[in-house]
Amino acid sequence: MQTLKISILIPSFNSIKYIKECLESVIHQTLKDIEIICIDANSSDGTLDILESYAKKDSRIKILLSHKASLGYQLNLGIANANARYISIVESDDYADLSMCEKLWNLALLYDCDMIKSDIIGFKSNKITYLPMITHKKFFSVYNQVLNPSVDIIKHTWTMNQSGIYKLDFIKNNKIKANETRGASYQDFGFWFLMMSMAKSIYFHKEALYYYRQDNQSSSVKDKNKVYCVNDECKYVEDFLIKNSKNDLIQVFYYKKFKLYIWNLNRID
């Protein structure tokens, strides 16, 4: 019988500056029936030593070593080894509200959705910003109800995976995998779009339960060498949509692709 409620996946690579804060927020979740899967891509800065130290003190922590320096591969490896009903993703330079898992799990018990999302707090230096998952005020009315991910929902939702929980069987049954391109190369966009394209039910919770760091200079968002990574990611999504006969989503995919390209242009300018 499945007793674990949520498998928290933490992909890491040379995150020594932030990994302790991340782990502390996860091991002290008010929901205790969780497992913590840390997938490290052979860090050389002491991150792995910290993970091992925490694992010795908390039996819920499992460490997986990734032989491939790919965020997508790390996520897929974590999913393949997850044992709970839902998974959640916490980036190693971010941290979660201590009640995140419990609040999202309680919503899962009520509504049994494929995806349950919360809002986000963005932070840098001494500045914090509330970031709603729904990006257009016109659609704020969709919060706190069960939805089918329609074209409008996909169009006006932030493409971020970290602030939610996702049913493990839903991911596996639909053969949803992250793109295994090298490094951290915006694989979160592809994984998000694949899930949104296959989900039958989603719930947006109007409360920020995840803290997203916006001033990490080693983040992929800050890397101007990754100019063409978004091209690879969009090709990966389009191939998946065609393979799964999701022709009704091609137009909204092109819309999100255009927005992503504009963001990328501004990022490298």
Q: What are the extents of the domains in the chain? A: 6-268
Whole-structure pTM value: 0.93
Q: What per-residue confidence (pLDDT) applies to 246? A: 96
Backbone phi, then psi, for 185, in 5-degree steps? -125, 45
Instruction: List the chain residues with pLDDT less than 50.
Output: 1, 222
Q: What per-residue confidence (pLDDT) applies to 239? A: 97
What's the Cα-to-Cα distance from 242 to each of 15, 16, 37, 161, rounded to whole Å? 37, 40, 32, 23
What's the DSSP call for residue 51?
H
Burial class (CB in 10 A: 0-12, 13-18, 19+), 154: buried
Q: What per-residue confidence (pLDDT) applies to 136? A: 92
User: Around Cβ 268, how many Cβ atoms within 10 Å?
Assistant: 11
d(CA 204, CA 133): 8
Q: Find residue 113's DSSP bridge partners.
A: none
Q: What per-residue confidence (pLDDT) applies to 1? A: 40
Task: Look up the CATH number of domain 6-268.
Answer: 3.90.550.10
